[in-house]
Structure formats: C-alpha cells, structure tokens
C-alpha cells in the first residue's frame, strides 16, 4: 500500500492501462489497418494481398468526387441550419430560462432517447407527399400537387439538421451560461446598446460554444448516410452511402477503405484549419 503512496504515477498508469490498451487495439490500430486494406488488391473469391496499390486513391477520388463534395455541402448546410435554429434556443434557455432551465434542457435532449432511425422514419411520415405537412397545404391549394419534399436535398439537409441539433444547442448553452452578468452590466454602463452588447460581449464569449457545436455537428453530418438513404434519392447520395455500398453490397473493400480514409483525412485537415481560423485551444477539452 505504501508503495503506491511513494509512486503516485504508478497508480495512474495501472488505472489507465486497460482502457487505453483497448482504445489502442480497437480504435487506433484499426485506423492504420483501414489504410492498409485500401492498398489491397484482389476479390472476395480469390482473397486479397497487400500490393501497395496507391493508384486507388486518385481513382476513388475521380469516381466519387461528386459524392464527397455533396457530403461536405450537405454537412455544412446542416451545420449552419443547426446554428441558426439552436442559437436562439440556447440563448433563451441560458438567459431567460430561470427556474425552468433544467426542464427546457431536458426537453431539448429527451427526443434523442428515441432511436435515430425511428425519428428519421417519423420525418418520412411528416414529409410524405400527401402526409401531415404537405397534405393540408396541397388540399388548400397552396402548393401544387406535384410538389414534394421527400427524395430532395432539402429533406436530407433538414433531416441531418434535426438529428444533430442537440450537439449544437448544448455546447452553445454551456458557453452562454458561463458569461458573467457583470460583463454585460459593465457594457451597459459604458453606453453600449443592446445590439452592441450582443455583438461585442455575448457573441465573442459564446465563440468556444460555436466552435465545439459546429464541430460536433459537422463531423457526424458529413459521414452520415441514414438521412440520405431514408429521406433522399439516388441523386442525393452522400459519401457514406458509397462507403456502405462498397463494403456491404459489393465487397469492394479497398475502395471502401480508401474512401473512408479520405473522409477521415479531409475531416482532420478541415478541423485543424478551422481551429486555426477560430483560434480556440479547447479542442480536446484537456484543460484539467
């Protein structure tokens, strides 16, 4: 026992070892393996061999560049939508929530205790051509009979934005909640009007929340394929749909792995550029 007191970091390493080993074996190594598999050649029938076929990268990029740019566009659009929807929501809860704060936060999170798939399928019911949303509008003659939301990019982006809204709202709330009231009072005493207080005090202090929220939304949004599959059509397929089909339908592992690697690399580069742009160091949350 006293040995542990003399070697405090030894205890730390013993506590860390099992979990860290697990992540090294089942998270970090598989990422490297994914890269290796992208350099395989062969087929499920003949077996695969590592041939170092780097040519697969330009090939995959050329063939699926459309899906990649579409994913980035849908992900970016959905992130902007979640920000526009989530900011006023977070603002109200943080500054005006009063004693209903926790109730409101709970109401924001509660829908997400329902299966992701079931929520998305519910939107399919709501957006259906003669469903809850469009049916009455068409009956009233406000929309032409041929108008549809399902199987359009709008439905896909809306579905993604809906599914990731809490990821944006909660970090924004945390950042806004932390703003000390006396800073806003000071701004008022220095004759800042409402807009200036918002623009010069609230918004800059909310920036870490904007940063965290947009990353937490954008990253899963770019890789998502459920919304495109359920709410979109073949023309709104994202890179995730291609990867899924490569692996699970046609067993073209090398191309699937190469596309996943490209997706991951693109996201890491994007995040680093964004971090530099926004200039926040809270990326890893490693403030302890």
Partner 1 sequence: MAATGEAMVRARPSGTSWQRGRRAVGRWILPAYTFLAVAFLALPVLIMIAFSFNDTTGRSNLNWRSFSLDAWLDPLGQPGLAEAVTTSLAVAVLSTIIATILGVLIGLALVRHRFSGRGALNLLIFLPMATPEIVLGVSLLTLFLASTQWTFLPEGTFFPLSFRTILIAHIMFNISYVVVTIRARLQGFPRHLEEAAMDLGANEWTTFWRITFPLILPGVLAAALLAFSLSIDDYVVTVFTSGPATTFPLFIYGAQQRGIPVQINVIGTIIFVAAVGFVLLSTVIANRQRPDPVEASGEADA
Closest separation in Å from C-beta 58 to partner 1: 20
Interacting residue with partner 1 among 85, 151, 207, 278 (CB under 8 A): 85
Q: Cα 106 vs. chain centroid, distance in angstroms?
A: 21
Does residue 204 touch partner 1 according to CB under 8 A? no
Interacting residue with partner 1 among 80, 143, 230, 278 (CB under 8 A): 230
The interface with partner 1 within residues 246-265 (CB under 8 A) comprises: 247-248, 253, 256-257, 260, 263-264
Q: What is the DSSP string of the chain?
A: -HHHHH-HHHHHHHHHHHHHHHHIIIIIHHHHHHHHHHTEEEETTTEEEE---TTHHHHHHHHHHHHHHHHHHHHHHHHHHHHHHHHHHHHIIIII-GGGHHHHHHHHHGGGGS-HHHHHHHHHHHHSTTSTTHHHHHHTTSS-TT---TTSHHHHHHHHHHHHHHHHHHHHHHHHHTS-HHHHHHHHHTT--HHHHIIIIIHHHHHHHHHHHHHHHHHHHHH--HHHHHH--GGG--HHHHHHHHHHTS--HHHHHHHHHHHHHHHHHHHHHHHHHHT---TT----
Interacting residue with partner 1 among 52, 144, 234, 286 (CB under 8 A): 286
Closest separation in Å from C-beta 260 to partner 1: 4
Interacting residue with partner 1 among 41, 57, 131, 270 (CB under 8 A): 131
The interface with partner 1 within residues 4-33 (CB under 8 A) comprises: 4, 8-9, 11-13, 15-16, 18-20, 22-24, 26-31, 33
The interface with partner 1 within residues 134-163 (CB under 8 A) comprises: 162
Interacting residue with partner 1 among 68, 156, 219, 228 (CB under 8 A): 219
Does residue 54 touch partner 1 according to CB under 8 A? no
Interacting residue with partner 1 among 55, 58, 180, 204 (CB under 8 A): 180
Does residue 280 touch partner 1 according to CB under 8 A? no
The interface with partner 1 within residues 97-126 (CB under 8 A) comprises: 98-99, 102, 104, 106-108, 110-111, 113-126
Closest separation in Å from C-beta 200 to partner 1: 13
Q: What are phi and psi of 41, to 5 degrees?
A: -130, 155
Closest separation in Å from C-beta 165 to partner 1: 7
Does residue 283 touch partner 1 according to CB under 8 A? yes
């Amino acid at each position: 026992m006293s040995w542990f007191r003399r070697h405090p970091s030894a205890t730390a390493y013993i506590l860390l070892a099992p979990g860290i080993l697990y992540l090294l074996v089942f998270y970090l190594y598989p990422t490297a393996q994914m890269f290796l598999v992208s350099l395989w050649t062969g087929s499920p029938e003949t077996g695969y061999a590592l041939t170092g076929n780097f040519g697969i990268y330009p090939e995959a990029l050329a063939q699926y560049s459309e899906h990649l740019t579409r994913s980035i566009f849908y992900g970016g659009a959905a992130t902007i939508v979640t920000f526009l929807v989530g900011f006023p929501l977070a603002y109200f809860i943080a500054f005006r929530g009063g004693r209903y704060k926790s109730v409101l936060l709970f109401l924001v999170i509660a829908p997400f205790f329902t299966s992701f798939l079931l929520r998305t399928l519910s939107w399919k019911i709501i957006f259906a051509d003669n469903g809850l949303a469009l049916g009455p509008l068409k009956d009233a003659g406000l929309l032409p009979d041929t108008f549809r939301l399902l199987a359009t990019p709008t439905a896909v982006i809306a579905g993604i934005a809906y599914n990731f809204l809490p990821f944006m709202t909660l970090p924004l709330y945390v950042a806004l909640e932390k703003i000390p009231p006396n800073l806003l009072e000071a701004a008022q005493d220095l004759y800042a009007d409402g807009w200036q207080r918002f623009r010069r005090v609230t918004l800059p202090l909310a920036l870490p929340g904007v940063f965290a929220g947009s990353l937490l939304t954008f990253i899963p949004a770019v890789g998502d394929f459920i919304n495109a599959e359920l709410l979109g059509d073949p023309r709104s397929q994202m890179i995730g749909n291609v990867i899924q089909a490569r692996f699970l339908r046609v067993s073209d592992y090398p191309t699937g792995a190469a596309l996943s690697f490209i997706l991951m690399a693109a996201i890491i580069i994007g995040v680093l550029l964004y971090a530099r742009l926004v200039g926040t160091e809270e990326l890893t949350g490693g403030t302890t």
